[in-house]
Amino acid sequence: MGVTGRPSAAAVLLAGAVACCAALAVAAQTQQQQQRKHVRISGNAGDVLEDNPVGKLKVFVYEMPRKYNQYLLEKDNRCLYHMFAAEIFMHQFLLASAVRTMDPEEADWFYTPVYTTCDLTQQGFPLPFRAPRMMRSAVQYIAATWPYWNRTEGADHFFLAPHDFGACFHYQEERAIERGILPVLRRATLVQTFGQRNHVCMQEGSITIPPYANPQKMQAHLISPGTPRSIFAYFRGLFYDMGNDPEGGYYARGARASVWENFKDNPLFDMSTEHPSTYYEDMQRAIFCLCPLGWAPWSPRLVEAVVFGCIPVIIADDIVLPFADAIPWDQISVFVPEADVPRLDSILASVPPEDVLRKQRLLASPAMKQAVLFHQPAQPRDAFDQVLNGLARKLPHREGVFLRPGQKVIDWNAGQYDDLKPW
């Protein structure tokens, strides 16, 4: 209470949010009793989540020397479990997929299986100086072995690039921007976790995918869907990168530091740098899950929030979200500009209860959860199918894909000096 006897603004906000939590819990339980069907997602986005890509495209998978994929996996299988693992599982999926063709003459798309995120440091991070050399070597190999690359210089080829900044192949944004997208890939379609509008590392026509999060591991932590969501806003992760940016002004563009400094003592916010064993269970007890940018704008936290029905609070200006032409992110998330982080409590508390309930119902859709997961083995309409649907929607290829005899577009000698070294 203030000196006048009136409650403070913070107290009013807290009381309102607590009342909102209680009301939402009651309303959610009532809905579960009265309505077992999921709400249909409206609009163009969402309607295509259940599209079947089979029959809409054919993909030829290049057979590459083992040094580009299997040898790296056998040498260090940690890359099967990290957030970049989609490039491995996409290869395994395509080998058995009904869209695969053994006749390259009838292919709509060509895929080169290269495991650039399997060449790891001792700490388990992809080596940024090895990845571009490896990818360039792989492109040289397919160009010298088959005629298909040369007739388009890669315009009917797609590559998985699940690095922090995609085919710029670096985890630090400044270095990634300095390098730019690997020149030999600039006509190809990049399937990458990185997505940000008006960014050097995001080229037109790219398909943004979710990072890999282990579906079986999350399935093992599911709790009763009737469990009340008693946590208002939840976050576990770094606020500062003390090793690389101790002041917090560069890491996450200062957004995570701002979250911590403004709300570390706010009882509405359950936040910590610790990662408890109940992390997944806690997300299922939360209404809002904070998904701020880190070094890059994306993280597995977004996938986890969707799977566990926790409304993602996306704090990453200009982010391009996974499968944005299929998943209606505006209907299931709350977007907060980085500059507005100091008002995060009032922004979330002002979301109308009926909007919260609608977002939760949409998040409960099995199709929504399926679309962000790379299942092993693959399941209908999961993230693998969404990648294929994205490729199918780019067909027929645009005019100018096939080059005239003797026409060259790509400069094989372009790029940073170190990237031109043999791999």
Tell me what pLDDT residue 42 has: 39
Q: What is the DSSP letter of 157?
A: E
The answer on 328 and 355 residing in a single domain is: yes
The answer on 249 and 109 residing in a single domain is: no
The answer on 389 and 329 residing in a single domain is: no
State the pTM of this model.
0.89
- Note down the domain range covering 174: 59-212+385-397
Tell me the pLDDT tens digit for each residue of 305-351.
Answer: 999 999 999 999 999 999 999 999 999 999 999 999 999 999 999 99
The answer on 224 and 258 residing in a single domain is: yes
415 is a domain residue:
no
35 is a domain residue:
no
Indicate the average pLDDT of the chain: 90
The answer on 205 and 92 residing in a single domain is: yes
* % pLDDT > 70, the chain: 89
99 is a domain residue:
yes
27 is a domain residue:
no
7 is a domain residue:
no
Tell me the pLDDT tens digit for each residue of 270-287.
Answer: 999 999 999 999 999 999
The answer on 366 and 230 residing in a single domain is: yes
pLDDT band of residue 121 (cuts 50, 70, 90) is confident
195: left (phi over 0), alpha (psi -120 to 50) or beta: beta
Q: Residue 62: in which H helix or E strand, if any?
A: none
The answer on 250 and 359 residing in a single domain is: yes
Residues 169 and 181: beta-carbon distance below 8 Å: no
50 is a domain residue:
no
Virtual torsion, Cα 92, 51, 395, 113, nearest 10 deg: -10
The answer on 103 and 73 residing in a single domain is: yes
Tell me the pLDDT tens digit for each residue of 162-187.
Answer: 999 999 999 889 999 999 999 999 99
**CATH number of the domain that 331 lies in?**
3.40.50.2000
The answer on 320 and 194 residing in a single domain is: no
239 is a domain residue:
yes
Q: Which residue has the tokens 């990237």?
A: 419
Domain tally for the chain?
A: 2
* Distances from the Cα of 343 to the Cα of 92, 287, 337, angstroms: 45, 18, 10
23 is a domain residue:
no
The answer on 205 and 282 residing in a single domain is: no
Tell me the pLDDT tens digit for each residue of 62-117.
Answer: 999 999 999 999 999 999 999 999 999 999 999 999 999 999 999 999 999 999 99
Burial readout 242-258 (b: 16 or more C-beta within 10 A, e: otherwise): eeeeeebebbbbbbbbb
* Distances from the Cα of 354 to the Cα of 41, 46, 148, 359, angstroms: 16, 20, 53, 9
The answer on 150 and 68 residing in a single domain is: yes
The answer on 389 and 353 residing in a single domain is: no
Q: What is the DSSP letter of 40?
A: P
pLDDT band of residue 37 (cuts 50, 70, 90) is very low
